[in-house]
A and B are shown apart, each in its own frame.
Chain A
């Protein structure tokens, strides 16, 4: 068997430990996006691929506004609104024009690639330096970033906890579970879907805006694969949350575990890179992780109920 111990010893453990705060900071920022994915994927039961585009939209809007002299907090706020618009477009494609959910998201995502480049004045990369602007987070100061993002996450979780307890929040939860029943109870399911998609993409763009400040630039490819990271965080968070808390896992706990899932995802990525995985294979690795986490619950259910076992009994 391949012995891992020499691999560990040959590498510098200190460098892994040093990278941890950065992974945690990035994981937390992506955690905001993952909560957005949770809203559509888990509550609305809608796999929304808009996020790969709207994440970049948040970055582009934030960086360009800061360069234009807006305060960074206001820039991120406007990025949130831009994300809401992107979500509304996907919602209209789906509810008004009857385009299937996945395809509506893909169409928005592709369109947003051009929109993002237009926002960044045609440049694939736009830098915003922490030396020139008073950014809310920066990669140079991970502890401060972690603290700031945790406060933002706490506010978002509190806001969502309240929102999904309201009458409108109830309509979204009901629509995600049973559309026929929702209409029979007088709920306009189209509006419920658009509201959820808007909120979700608003959060995704907000995360994009914060990440662009953290890394000091907007990159046109910064959102590529965001949906996979979001799904990975949602699923990892759910598995761990249920394992630790079981039935006591309530709604705000679920949201918090999504953010924790995102941190774990980044720490794992950091670890496999440290172990020697080439960076070009990272997306392949991410896709594998998500595929495995999505497959495990299905396969374990199947193995309990398999045709082959039925014969043996």
Chain B
């Protein structure tokens, strides 16, 4: 479903701030794979997701989604293949538009937009039913502006928007990091549910090692712009946080840098 072939990306090339963010990343995802991505700060996790999403062009290598080479496509054109949820809950929705209008925007991802109504009557009912079935308590607030929602509600809405039109690949970029633990757990549960029900292929970046072990069928660890560990299936299920920390030291020769990962 996703082929990342030896991609490289260096930021601020030739300046004092030069940073090799991706240093030859190669990754193949099968249909239905749910991969969790862990690694220290600056390891290249979010950068890899942004490369797939096309936030900027890569320096070399190629990215193929479901047989289509998207390496040369700008961000808004790749959007038709992707569903994305960001770390900042403010980032995934449009605060000045209604809940149902946000959903209508997402429903037209990858379609040519013209002078037809931005939201139809049939859609209003459909979105209400979808929101109701997910038990978010938002079904009676469909015409409220999204800016009035809490961070967790906005993140849940972003998740629905990302998957309203079934994406080839769902990218979750630390999408629970800015939420309180209880809300984070709820949003994660909702993510699991949506991914399972729609048989989605997904990548989830997280700082929380326990979440990375519990969720998904595959786990990769990144360091200095490379994938240094790729564990799947039954081996992944047997992992513990201690195993991961130890593996990190073995492979990278350093101690795991993030306190957040230990506290998780």
Residues of A that sit less than 8 Å from B by CB: 163, 165-171, 173-174, 176-178, 180-189
- B110/A167 in contact, CB under 8 A: no
CA distance A171 to B102 in the complex (A): 10
Contacts of B110 in A (CB 8 A): 186
The residue on B at minimum CB distance from A186 is B79
- Min C-beta distance of A41 to chain B, whole Å: 14
Q: Which partner residue on chain B sits nearest A171 by CB separation? A: B113
User: B118 contacts A170, CB within 8 Å?
Assistant: yes
Q: How far is the CA of A291 from the CA of B169 in the complex (A)?
A: 49
- Classify the secondary structure of A's interface with B: helix
A176 and B96 alpha carbons, distance in the complex (Å): 9
Number of interface residues of B (CB under 8 A): 33
Residues in A with CB closer than 8 Å to B80 are: 186
Q: Does B91 contact A (CB under 8 A)?
A: yes
Q: How far is the CA of A237 from the CA of B46 in the complex (A)?
A: 44
Give chain B's interface secondary structure class: loop
Cβ of B76 < 8 Å from any Cβ of A? yes
Q: Which of B101-155 contact A (CB under 8 A)?
A: 101, 104-106, 108-111, 113-119
Give CA–CA (A170, B92) in the complex, Å: 16
Q: How far is the CA of A181 from the CA of B105 in the complex (A)?
A: 10
* Contact present for B96 and A173 (CB under 8 Å): yes
The reply to whether the CB of B3 lies closer than 8 angstroms to some CB of chain A is no
Q: List 22 A-B contacts (CB under 8 A).
A: A165-B118, A165-B119, A166-B115, A166-B116, A166-B118, A167-B114, A167-B118, A169-B118, A170-B101, A171-B105, A177-B96, A178-B94, A181-B94, A182-B94, A183-B76, A184-B86, A185-B106, A185-B108, A186-B80, A186-B111, A187-B76, A187-B113
- Do A186 and B115 touch across chains, with their CB atoms under 8 A apart? no
**Interface positions of B (Cβ within 8 A of A):** 53, 75-77, 79-80, 82, 84, 86, 90-97, 101, 104-106, 108-111, 113-119, 161
Contact call B75/A184, Cβ cutoff below 8 A? yes
* Given A168-B113, A168-B115, A171-B113: A183 and B95 interface contact (C-beta under 8 Å): no
Q: Is the CB of B93 within 8 A of A178?
A: yes
Task: Chain B residues near A178: list those with CB within 8 A.
Answer: 90-91, 93-95
Minimum distance in angstroms from B205 CB to a CB of chain A: 15
Contact check: which of B76, B92, B95, B117 meets A165 at CB < 8 Å?
Answer: B117
Contacts of A183 in B (CB 8 A): 75-76, 79
Which B residues are CB-close (under 8 A) to A188? 76
- Tell me whether A170 and B53 are in contact in the complex, defined as CB-CB below 8 angstroms, given that A178-B91, A183-B75 are known contacts: no
